[in-house]
């Protein structure tokens, strides 16, 4: 199963104890997956339109918990009406509001209910990429108002959700690993959170090793390139000028470099008699280079 699917399974199993939270989550599921349609006899029905089993199971579990409804039987219209009233899709005057509207703010007053709402939203319209790759979480809304409501609730938890329009849908998304970890925490999906954190730590360690390896490789390349040039110049001096014509300290330097083409400056200094520091070696090599360039 995908990481996103695992997160949904975990969220689906999480049932809030309090009725206010159950209603908030139910409201989210009804808003994002609910649809009015006709049954085979042409009668009006209300359905939860989703391919995802986890959403259906959660919906029926919440109905059972919140309204003590026997979900084994087909729900009659009165029952549906009561549920829609409880989640404020039907208002106190018996007027039904569009499911495209944001959820009534009364249902999202408490922070626990905001969490429940985000769980419901993610379950119905959310997905996230596997943390082994890049970090991406999104929730695809039918209307801008719904997308804005999700962003408002995210902002309450100090999360910055962005909205883009894609194929006439409004997509709320986040791309920061830390923000997605926070989101999982808010949804109380702790197993997924641990899995994601492990992946992030693994990546961090791997990146820091890679950085170090690259850095060492770059230094080696630099040393080798410099040495190749020095050796070529010293060979030119030897053949065209004669090393014995050089002052003794430069002559020794030239010989040591030819003997140890792979050595670093510090190592070359050790081979000299008496030993010389890095800057001394550097100075002598530069002198040799200058003389070679005169030839
Ligand atoms: Zn609550």
Ligand 1 centre from 219 Cα, in Å? 58
Looking at the domain assignment, is residue 207 inside a domain? no
- Is the pTM here over 0.85, yes or no? no
CA distances in angstroms from 106 to 18, 88, 258, listed in the order given:
15, 9, 83
For the ranges 10-14, 77-81, 110-114, which has the lowest average pLDDT? 77-81
Ligand 1 centre from 218 Cα, in Å? 56
pLDDT for position 256 = 92
For 12, the token pair is: 């689906």
The mean pLDDT value of the chain amounts to 90
Ligand 1 centre from 131 Cα, in Å? 30
Ligand 1 centre from 7 Cα, in Å? 21
- Same-domain status, 176 and 231: no
Looking at the domain assignment, is residue 289 inside a domain? yes
Assign residue 27 the CATH number of its domain.
3.10.28.10
CA distances in angstroms from 127 to 60, 77, 130, 284, listed in the order given:
22, 32, 10, 64
* Ranges assigned E (strand) in 159-213: 162-166, 169-174
Ligand 1 centre from 31 Cα, in Å? 18
- Same-domain status, 67 and 158: yes
Looking at the domain assignment, is residue 58 inside a domain? yes
The range of the structural domain enclosing residue 92 comes to: 3-188
- Same-domain status, 57 and 161: yes
Looking at the domain assignment, is residue 217 inside a domain? no
The model's pLDDT over 32-47, given as tens digits with 9 standing for 90+, comes to 999 888 778 877 778 8
Q: How confident is the model at residue 94 (pLDDT cuts 50, 70, 90)?
A: confident
Ligand 1 centre from 162 Cα, in Å? 25
- Same-domain status, 26 and 150: yes
Ligand 1 centre from 141 Cα, in Å? 23
Looking at the domain assignment, is residue 124 inside a domain? yes
Ligand 1 centre from 105 Cα, in Å? 13
- Same-domain status, 151 and 272: no
- Same-domain status, 166 and 244: no
């Amino acid at each position: 199963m995908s990481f996103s699917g695992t997160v949904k399974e975990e969220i689906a199993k999480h049932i809030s104890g309090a009725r206010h939270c159950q209603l908030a989550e139910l409201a989210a599921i009804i808003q994002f997956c609910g649809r009015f349609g006709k049954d085979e006899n042409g009668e009006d029905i209300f359905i939860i339109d989703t391919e995802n089993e986890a959403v259906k199971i959660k919906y029926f579990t919440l109905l059972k918990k919140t309204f003590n409804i026997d979900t084994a039987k087909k729900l009659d219209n009165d029952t549906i009406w009561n549920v829609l009233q409880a989640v404020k899709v039907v208002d106190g005057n018996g007027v039904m509001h569009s499911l495209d509207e944001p959820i009534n703010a009364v249902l999202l007053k408490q922070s626990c209910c905001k969490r429940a709402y985000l769980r419901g939203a993610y379950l119905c319209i959310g997905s996230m990429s596997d943390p082994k790759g890049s970090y991406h979480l999104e929730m695809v809304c039918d209307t801008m108002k719904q997308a804005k409501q999700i962003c408002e609730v995210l902002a309450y938890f100090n999360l910055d959700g962005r909205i883009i329009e894609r194929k006439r849908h409004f997509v709320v998304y986040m791309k920061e690993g830390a923000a997605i970890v926070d989101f999982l925490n808010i949804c109380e999906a702790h197993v997924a959170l641990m899995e994601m954190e492990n992946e992030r730590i693994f990546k961090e360690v791997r990146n820091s090793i890679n950085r170090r390896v690259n850095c060492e490789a770059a230094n080696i390349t630099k040393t080798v390139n410099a040495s190749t040039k020095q050796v070529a110049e010293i060979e030119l001096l030897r053949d065209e000028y004669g090393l014995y014509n050089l002052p003794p300290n430069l002559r020794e330097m030239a010989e040591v470099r030819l003997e140890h083409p792979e050595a670093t400056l510090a190592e070359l200094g050790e081979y000299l008699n008496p030993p010389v520091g890095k800057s001394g070696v550097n100075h002598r090599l530069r002198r040799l280079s200058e003389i070679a360039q005169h030839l």
